[in-house]
Amino acid sequence: MQFTARYADGRTALRHDVTIYVGSDAVSIVDANGTVLDRWPFRGLRLAEEVYVGQPARLIHADKPDANLLIEEPDAVRLVCQRIPGLGGRYLGGLRTGQRLLLWTGALIAVVTLVVVTVPQLAGASARFVPKPWAQALGSAVVESMAPNTCEGSDAMRALDSLVERLTSGRDNPYPIKIRVARDDTVNALAAPGGHVVILSGLIEQAESGDELAAVLAHEVAHAELQHPLRGILRAAGLGLVASAFFGDLSGLGSIAADLGQHAMMMSYTRDDERAADRIAVEMLNGADLRSVGFVRFFERLRDANGSPSEDPDSTIYQLFASHPMHADRIRLIKDLGTGTQPAFTGEEWAAIKGVCKR
């Protein structure tokens, strides 16, 4: 095969009109007088840059510093790129911009999906490698910032601690559970890393019986036992890290998308976690021979009263209600599995708890 080309030898800026002969293992460069100017073996031959549709191609060679061969005829460019082994990598003349756009958009979607699915899982799974003191310190910090106004009342706290004691006795809990009651009108209870569980006073006010409170508490203790809060934080952090590191350069759009994705992740993952926590909670209630019917009653009542009582979807702590849609199957699970018979608190205990945040 022979083509016309223009040759720069890398010593002066002069271009020479040449004919190149593409042999079986080398390209010969011959000038108008028939003088062979150089011979470039295929080995070491490269395209100087990506060649797009209609763009001239430049050949360079590893052993020929600064020299290059310019081929301008589109057909010649295509043939040379096909003929010489290993040269095709930078030849993009076969695909138009739109086709490559589609290709890489597909790749982006695939990769993002992969990352969004695997990174949070890996990050969540790494929870068990976090040293206990770290998790406890992190939990303390979270609790301090989320629920700074603690209610003190020794009778109430004794009653709650005794309930937790009964719920967790004989179970393999990674951290000792630390209960506190915080003054906050939100109807909620939270689990933070390191075994911290916070009951907000709004929940105590809304609960009609000790069983209802005990059920919610069992649910949060189950989250704590399963290390869900730490896993949740690590998941969110992992995804946030990936998002900010790699989408930062695309635009503000990337970080917005990443933020939305992060929240969607938190929600969908916690749904699985919720089921697991429900099961453990019922197990704990059964183990202590406590009635689990309060669980169902409380959620049903809340759902009827005000559709979704949660307010802050940004919280990294487990949000009881935003992520607790009481589906029929969850209610059934609790109803079917609950075997306990005893009330959670005595009358005096329940009264003390009810009054713990009263000024």
Partner 1 sequence: MRKAAAQGRIQHHGTGGELFVIMLMNVVLKILTLGLYHFWGKTRIRRYLWSATEFDGERLEYTGFGLELFYGFLKAFVVILVLVLALGFGQYHLSQFSPTAAGALIFAFYVVVGFLVCAGMYGARSYIVSRTRLRGIRFAQTGSAVEYAMKMLGYGLLCLVTLYLAVPFMRNALAGYTLNHTWYGSQQFSYDGKGRDLFGRYLVCWLLAIPTLGISIVWYLAAEMRYVWDHTRAGKVTFGLDLSGGALFGLLLTNLLIIVLTLGLGFPWVLTRSLRFTMSRLEVAGKPDYAALRQTTVESPSTGEGLAEMFDLAPA
Q: Rounded to an integer, what distance in angstroms lies between the CA atom of residue 345 and that of residue 319?
A: 25
Stretch that binds partner 1, among 92-100, 135-143, 219-227, 313-321 (CB under 8 A): 92-100
**Residue of the chain from 126, 180, 247, 267 that contacts partner 1 (CB under 8 A):** 247
Would the CA dihedral through 302, 306, 308, 309 be positive or negative? negative
From candidates 159, 191, 242, 317, binder to partner 1 by CB under 8 A: 242
Nearer to partner 1, 42 or 246 (CB): 246
Distance separating alpha carbons of residues 272 and 110, to the nearest angstrom: 24
Candidates 129, 133, 154, 253; binder of partner 1 (CB under 8 A) is: 253
Number of residues that bind partner 1 (CB under 8 A): 39
Half-sphere exposure (Cβ direction) of 338: Cα atoms closer than 13 Å: 22
Query: What is the C-alpha to C-alpha distance for residues 188 and 168, in angstroms, rounded to an integer?
Result: 21
Residues 290-349, interacting with partner 1 (CB under 8 A): none
Task: For partner 1, give the closer residue by CB, 224 or 265.
Answer: 265
Shortest distance (Å) from residue 189 CB to partner 1: 38
Interacting residues with partner 1 between 27 and 86 (CB under 8 A):
48-50, 52, 55-56, 58, 66-68, 70
Closer CB to partner 1, 97 or 339, in the complex: 97
Asked whether position 21 contacts partner 1 by CB under 8 A, the answer is no
Distance, CA of 183 to CA of 322 (rounded, Å): 20
Q: DSSP letter at 5?
A: E
CB of 58 to partner 1, least distance (A): 7
Tell the smallest beta-carbon distance from residue 134 to partner 1 (Å).
24
* Nearest to partner 1 of 9, 155 (CB atom): 9
Question: CA dist 185 to 205, 221, 246, 298, 309, Å?
Answer: 9, 21, 40, 17, 11
15 part of the interface to partner 1, by CB under 8 A: yes
Which residues, at least 6 apart from 75, have a Cβ–Cβ distance to it below 8 Å?
Answer: none
The position carrying tokens 């967790």 is 168
Task: Find residue 19's DSSP bridge partners.
Answer: 4, 30
Nearer to partner 1 by Cβ, of 47 and 216: the residue is: 47
Within residues 131-190, the interface with partner 1 by CB under 8 A covers none
Q: Coil, strand or helix: which one is 154?
A: helix
Task: Mark 81-112 as b/e (b = at least 16 C-beta within 10 Å).
Answer: beebeebeeebbbeeeeeeeeeeeeeeeeeeb
Q: How far is the CB of 10 from partner 1 (least distance, A)?
A: 4
DSSP 283: H
Cβ 335 vs Cβ 299: under 8 Å: no
Q: Any idea what DSSP says for residue 91?
A: B
Residue 246 binds partner 1 (CB under 8 A): yes
Give the single-character DSSP code of 9: -
Q: Which of residues 98-127 bind partner 1 (CB under 8 A)?
A: 98, 100-101, 104-105, 107-108, 111-112, 115
Q: How far is the CB of 256 from partner 1 (least distance, A)?
A: 8
Interacting residue ranges for partner 1, rule: CB under 8 A: 8-15, 48-50, 52, 55-56, 58, 66-68, 70, 97-98, 100-101, 104-105, 107-108, 111-112, 115, 242, 245-247, 249-253
